[in-house]
Structure 1
Amino acid sequence: MTKTLIAAACLFAFAGVVQAQDADTDTSTDNGGWTGSGEFGFASARGNSRTENVNAKLGLNQENEYWKNNFFLNGMRSKGEVTVLDASGNTVDRFTTTANRYDGGASVGYKLDPRSYIVGAGRYEHDDFGANLWQGIVSLGYGYIALKNERTELSFEIGPGYKRYRPADTTVLVNGVATDMRQPTESELVGRGLINFKYRLTDNTAFEDTLLVEAGSKNKYYQNDAGLSVSMTKKLALKLGFQVRYNSDTQPGTQSTDTLTTTNLVYNF
């Protein structure tokens, strides 16, 4: 309850600051095409069940005559009650971590003309409960802005890359005792593809969808992020997000597809 009250107080204070900023005269100047946004979501339940969920995102973008750059950092952590066996073999409920994932990356694009650009990209992800404990990729490719106006934007990126990853540990029986076995690190050449679509439905409502593909002969990874945001002020918005992640190479007991639904407060800067 205390954490919930603290989070709520922070959100209300944050909203008050943003509204005060919006009331001021706009003194923005040319900043080289940089924009950014931060997202935060928190939920807590007590009573018949006990859960805590928090997720945060930070993104920076730059687009001008010469550059099309992107930087991001995301994190997600959840706790909940799970049923486990204690040392005596009794069934007990424990409040423990059920999800812990963070990832970050960047892409730097140099424009050849107003629509096409050369892009270098890198991404790293750590997931304690995913098919891969960690994975990292670097790539070099070609990007093309197929459509861009005040309401719609559509762009594509494609190119080769190099990926290293470590599959999640497997559980084996050693003398009748369940033991985690570390998996070796894998590496391979992959093809990277990215499709980014943005559409402004109304003056204060926008839809965005990003599809990422990292496909190799041993492992194929797909991630789609869809989001619908509604602006409350010039800088503050509410966003409903839905993420689907697919990994072709999974260990026994883990699923290939993960989904995540979020409702976040967004601050644009």
Structure 2
Amino acid sequence: MRNLAFSVLISVVSINAWALVPPDYREPPSDLTAEIEAGFQLNTGNTESSSFNSRVKLVYDGEASKQEATVKAYFASDSEKTTAEKYDLQLQSNYKLKEGYIFGRGDFTWDEFGSYTRLSTVSSGYGFDVVNNSKTNLSLEVGPGYRYSMPNQTDDDPSPRSTRELILRAATKLEHKVHEYTTINADLTAESGKDNNTLTLDLNYKNLVFQDWAFKIGVNVKYTEVVPEGSEQVDTITSFNLLYTFQ
């Protein structure tokens, strides 16, 4: 009789627990998302080598605003010396409106082996979603900015002078879910100024491997109209990374 009562009690507790926590229960989505990735990289252009790269991205998406911060690091060396060392910092803050958003953005690059060793761009403007549904998000941004550029040293110009100029920045951002496990991202950014113009395409393919782990293939192509003598106008970075997402 005691065993029967115990069995009934266990059954009741199990039924109540099942009702409180259904088997398909998931934690509600967090406003904060973090991505960490690292992997192998191939460089062509001003730097040609095999190398290691890493990236950390933090996104806080609240009701009234959205904050993004991204840090990228690229490093390469051969048997004799370091051949590539580059660091990128991208910061953006969006203030949401009923239609679209107002943004402030900062892009900072340190590249010891690039055509420009220091690049800093600060911009602001207006952005809005052209398409926004469960599978596709396409947004456009446009606004004025200010750019600082320091060219790399060359034999003809061992002491280059920096340039400072007002620019117009326009960007298109696309995120498309092919299906539940596969996502394609494409960002196209154009910066136009009196002294120089640039066009950057950042394209990546992400496929979920296991839970929060994903395999990511990325291609970053940047075209710079005016570069120091002996430098390439096009820089291409191809990366093969393993990515982990915290939500």
Corresponding position of 2:93: 108
Say if 1:204 and 1:27 are closer, same or farther in 2 by CA, change over 3 A. closer
Say if 1:148 and 1:64 are closer, same or farther in 2 by CA, change over 3 A. farther
The percentage of aligned residue pairs carrying the same residue is 29
Greater RCO, CA 8 A, separation 6+: 2
Corresponding position of 1:65: 63
Q: CA deviation at 1:67?
A: 1.2
Which residues in structure 2 correspond to 1:156-235 (within 5 Å)?
156-172=140-156, 181-235=158-212
The residue matched to 1:181 in structure 2 has which SS? coil
In structure 2, list runs of 5 or more residues that go unmatched: 1-23, 43-48
Q: CA deviation at 1:130?
A: 1.2
Match of 1:138 among 113, 122, 125: 122
Question: Residues 192-219 of structure 1, C-alpha deviation per residue, up to 9 Å, x if partnerless?
Answer: 1121101111211111111122210101
1:231 aligned partner, one-letter code: L
TM-score (norm 2): 0.82
Which residues in structure 2 correspond to 1:15-26 (within 5 Å)?
none
In structure 1, list runs of 5 or more residues that go unmatched: 1-24, 45-50, 82-94, 173-179
1:37 aligned partner, one-letter code: E
Corresponding position of 1:28: 27
2:204 & 2:29 partners in 1: Cα distance? 28
2:34 aligned partner, one-letter code: G
Question: Residues 10-38 of structure 1, C-alpha deviation per residue, up to 9 Å, x if partnerless?
Answer: xxxxxxxxxxxxxxx9763454x221211
Corresponding position of 1:78: 76
Match of 1:241 among 193, 218, 224: 218
Q: CA deviation at 1:170?
A: 1.4
1:132 & 1:26 partners in 2: Cα distance? 51
1:148 aligned partner, one-letter code: N
Say if 1:139 and 1:249 are closer, same or farther in 2 by CA, change over 3 A. same
TM-score (norm 1): 0.76
Aligned length: 217
Say if 1:228 and 1:43 are closer, same or farther in 2 by CA, change over 3 A. closer
Is contact 1:123-1:137 (8 Å) kept? yes
> RMSD of aligned C-alpha atoms?
2.0
Say if 1:27 and 1:205 are closer, same or farther in 2 by CA, change over 3 A. closer
Q: CA deviation at 1:80?
A: 2.2
Query: Which one has the largest radius of gyration?
Result: 2
The residue matched to 1:145 in structure 2 has which SS? strand
1:237 & 1:26 partners in 2: Cα distance? 23
Q: CA deviation at 1:100?
A: 1.0
